[in-house]
Amino acid sequence: MSDPVAPERAKDVRAAAAAWLERRERGAWSNDQQTAFDAWMNASLQHRTAYWRVADAWHRTDRLRVLGAPMRAQAASPKKTAPWLFRGMAAALVVAMAGGVAYKTYFANPAAKTYSTTIGGRETLAFADGSEIDLNTDTVVRTAVSRDKRMVWLDKGEAYFRIKHDAAHPFVVIAGGHRVTDLGTQFIVRREEGRLEVSLVEGRAQVDAANGSVRPETLKPGDVLVATATTMAVTKKAPAVLTDKLGWRQGVIVFRHTTLADAAAEFNRYSNTQLVIKGGETAHLTVVGTFRANDMTSFVEVAQTIFGLKAARRDNEIVLSR
């Protein structure tokens, strides 16, 4: 019990402020009431600001008088469904049928231009057809994009694809043993050791495996597919989750109830210095926050402050522990 007096809850203070305002509104205001009101107001700045706040809102309501008539409900206009959704679906059917053509060559390794980013680096590739690829930290792609064929190999790392749709020339991303066929889309592909994650932001895309071990999946907006060598699973995520996943394009990492262990792994992608969390209990603490991807130090300071952790710094390592 550090507080000698429990602080007043805001909703109680605000209710009291509204009650005072209403008593003044009603009129027939006595000296005693004024004295009591002054005492309440002088008790704290919380009281005063709450009163100013409710009084300001009530006075602003005076503007209603210019309307001179009772309110009429204004029907909220329903949000329009994005028309591309439907166009995308039609195109999806066409391309899915053509999907089997030249299957093998997609997984071959032809000569192509190579682009890469360093650890902590970021780059955007723009193509003549208007398509763009954002490369995140420590990423390698090879591209073979021409008028009649559009292929990109994600050899390592993470990239965000914004593809100008062309039904005759689908945009194909090869990541290890998997192929992502764009059907007019924006999507993120993240490749890690033994794991591939495809997050669909807009449009449609199809994912299949080179060895045909799993049934191809067609992704819709919000779908996040996680594939290993032998499995593929799709989960539907809220739009906010995908926005968070794209935080790196603004140079930030977003955590929403992420364990400290996972958060550290995420920071480690962007830095040569590696963050190590010691202790199972510590590793399971969860964090919510938005951080600069290239600023591990701030994150460490924050974790120290909030969780009371110790940080030991060595050459290329920071160890966080109880």
Count of residues touching other proteins (by CB under 8 A): 58
Query: To the nearest whole angstrom, how small is the minimum distance from the Cβ of residue 194 to other proteins?
Result: 30
Residues 149-208, interacting with other proteins (CB under 8 A): none
Specify the DSSP element, H or E, that contains 207: strand 205-209
Q: Are the C-beta atoms of 263 and 255 separated by less than 8 Å?
A: yes
Classify 250 as helix, strand or coil: helix
- Among residues 13 and 175, whose Cβ is nearest to other proteins? 13
Contacts of 278-283 with CB under 8 Å at 24 or more apart are 278/319, 278/320, 278/321, 278/322, 279/321, 279/322, 281/322, 282/307, 282/309, 282/320, 282/321, 282/322, 283/259
69 near other proteins, rule: CB under 8 A: yes
- Residue placing its CB nearer to other proteins in the complex, 66 or 102: 66
Q: Which of 1, 73, 128, 168 binds other proteins (CB under 8 A)?
A: 73
Report the candidate in 201, 251, 210 with the shortest Cα–Cα distance to residue 232: 210
Exactly one of 58, 84, 115, 127 binds other proteins (CB under 8 A); which one?
58
288 binds other proteins, rule: CB under 8 A: yes
To other proteins, the closest distance from the beta carbon of 61 in angstroms equals 5
Residue 88 CB, nearest approach to other proteins (Å) = 22
Q: Is 78 in the site for other proteins (CB under 8 A)?
A: no
Smallest separation, CB 8 to other proteins (Å): 8
Any contact of residue 82 with other proteins (CB under 8 A)? no
Question: Are residues 268 and 244 in contact, defined by beta-carbon separation less than 8 angstroms?
Answer: no
Structure tokens of 156?
A: 């390592």
Point out which span in 82-90, 101-109, 171-179, 305-313 binds other proteins (CB under 8 A): 305-313
Residue 89 is a binding residue for other proteins (CB under 8 A): no
Q: Residue 36 or 93: which CB sits closer to other proteins?
A: 36
Helix %, strand %, coil % for the chain, to 5? Answer: 35, 30, 35
- Judge whether 293 and 122 are in contact, CB under 8 Å: no
Contacts of 58 (CB under 8 A, 6+ apart): 21, 25
**Toward other proteins, which CB reaches closer, 22 or 317?**
22
Q: Which of 94, 126, 306, 312 binds other proteins (CB under 8 A)?
A: 306
CA-nearest of 249, 248, 251, 223 to 236 is 223
Interface residue with other proteins, options 30, 31, 61, 77 (CB under 8 A): 61
Which of 30, 31, 74, 77 is in the footprint of other proteins by CB under 8 A? 74
If the CB atoms of residues 11 and 215 are measured against other proteins, the closer one turns out to be 11
Which of 6, 7, 78, 80 is in the footprint of other proteins by CB under 8 A? 7
* Lookup: tokens for 25: 């509104």
DSSP-assigned beta bridge partners for residue 275? 318
170: phi then psi, degrees, rounded to nearest 5: -60, 150
Residue (48 or 149) nearer to other proteins, CB: 48
Q: CA-to-CA distance for 114 and 103, rounded, in angstroms?
A: 22
Please report where in the chains the tokens 């003044």 appear, as a residue: 24
**Where on the chain is the footprint of other proteins (CB under 8 A)?**
2-3, 7, 9-11, 13-15, 18-19, 21-22, 25-26, 44-46, 48-50, 52-54, 56-58, 60-71, 73-74, 250-252, 285-292, 298, 302-303, 305-307
